[in-house]
């Protein structure tokens, strides 16, 4: 009877498409910035619009994959990055198939092609390895205490800048500066490991 009751229960409520779309649409400017940055083109470039549209489509279709408690912003930035990288790779392959373009075009496209990462794993993939995590821990330990605390509050506990300022009892601008500097230091560490 209990099993029957369980079987008769409706499936768990899924986030409505409308609500999710509204929330995702607010991130459009950020996604546009990410796609333009990865593609190495102006934000008004048609490829950027295509990448943002594709990101929105994938996010809406795969919204059930967003884990509980996972911030939507980070999740969608990750999708935008993948979509833009795919677009950049497609463009690189197309360029290789074509005859060499005029000199001015060529230099611009070669620069764009250079931005496409090679087969080396991304910082995220590499950080999944234990030694990368250990390196990141060391880099984190090397930061001033308050900076480290602010970073952990933001990235690990998911607190906002204002909440962190309240907890650490410092002005919000100070928190923003600590996070900017600390994040830069950690990004440099990840970049060094990637190039090693």
Partner 1 sequence: MNSRLGRQESWDEGHASELALSCLADGQLDVVDADVRAHVDGCADCTLRMGELALESHAVGAAMAVMRAQAAPVRHRFPFAMTAVAAVLAVVCAIPGLIEGLPRLLPWIFAAPRLLPLLTASLVAVAHDFGASPLGRATSVASAAMLCLIGFALARASRADAARKA
Residues 12-41 that bind partner 1 (CB under 8 A): 29-30, 32-38
Q: Which stretch binds partner 1 (CB under 8 A): 7-15, 57-65, 94-102, 125-133?
A: 125-133
Block residue for tokens 């930061």? 143
Q: What is the DSSP letter of 68?
A: T
Q: What is the DSSP letter of 69?
A: T
Cα dist from 117 to 8, 134, 144, whole Å? 50, 24, 32
CB 35 within 8 A of CB 83: yes
Residues 66-105 that bind partner 1 (CB under 8 A): 71, 73-74, 77-78, 81
Residue 142 is a binding residue for partner 1 (CB under 8 A): no
Distance in angstroms (rounded) separating the CA atoms of residues 63 and 65 = 5
Reduced 3-state DSSP string for 145-195: HHHHHHHHHHHHCCCCHHHHHHHHCCCHHHHHHHHHHHHHHHHHHHHHHHH
Residue 155 is a binding residue for partner 1 (CB under 8 A): yes
Residue 110 is a binding residue for partner 1 (CB under 8 A): no
In the bound complex, what is the minimum distance in angstroms from residue 80's beta carbon to partner 1?
A: 9
Three-class SS state of 98: coil
In the bound complex, what is the minimum distance in angstroms from residue 108's beta carbon to partner 1?
A: 15
Burial class (CB in 10 A: 0-12, 13-18, 19+), 147: buried
Q: Which stretch binds partner 1 (CB under 8 A): 5-13, 57-65, 110-118, 162-170?
A: 162-170
Tell me the number of residues near partner 1 by CB under 8 A.
Answer: 52
Q: Which stretch binds partner 1 (CB under 8 A): 2-10, 53-61, 112-120, 177-185?
A: 177-185
Write out the residues near partner 1 by the rule CB under 8 A: 29-30, 32-38, 42-44, 71, 73-74, 77-78, 81, 122-124, 127-128, 130, 132-134, 136-137, 140, 151-152, 154-156, 160-162, 165-166, 171-173, 176-177, 179-180, 183-184, 186-187, 190
């Amino acid at each position: 009877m209990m099993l029957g009751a369980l079987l008769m229960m409706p499936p768990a409520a899924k986030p409505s498409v409308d609500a999710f779309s509204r929330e995702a649409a607010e991130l459009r400017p950020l996604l546009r910035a990410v796609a333009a940055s990865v593609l190495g083109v102006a934000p008004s470039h048609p490829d950027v619009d295509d990448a943002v549209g594709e990101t929105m489509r994938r996010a809406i279709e795969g919204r059930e994959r967003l884990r509980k408690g996972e911030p939507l912003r980070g999740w969608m930035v990750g999708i935008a990055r993948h979509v833009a990288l795919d677009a950049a790779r497609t463009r690189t392959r197309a360029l290789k198939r074509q005859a060499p373009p005029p000199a001015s075009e060529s230099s611009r496209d070669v620069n764009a092609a250079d931005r496409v990462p090679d087969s080396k794993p991304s910082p995220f993939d590499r950080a999944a390895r234990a030694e990368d995590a250990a390196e990141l821990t060391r880099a984190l330990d090397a930061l001033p205490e308050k900076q480290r605390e602010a970073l952990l509050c933001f990235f690990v506990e998911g607190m906002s800048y204002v909440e962190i300022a309240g907890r650490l009892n410092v002005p919000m601008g100070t928190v923003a500066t600590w996070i900017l500097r600390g994040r830069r230091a950690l990004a440099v560490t990840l970049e060094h490991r990637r190039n090693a």
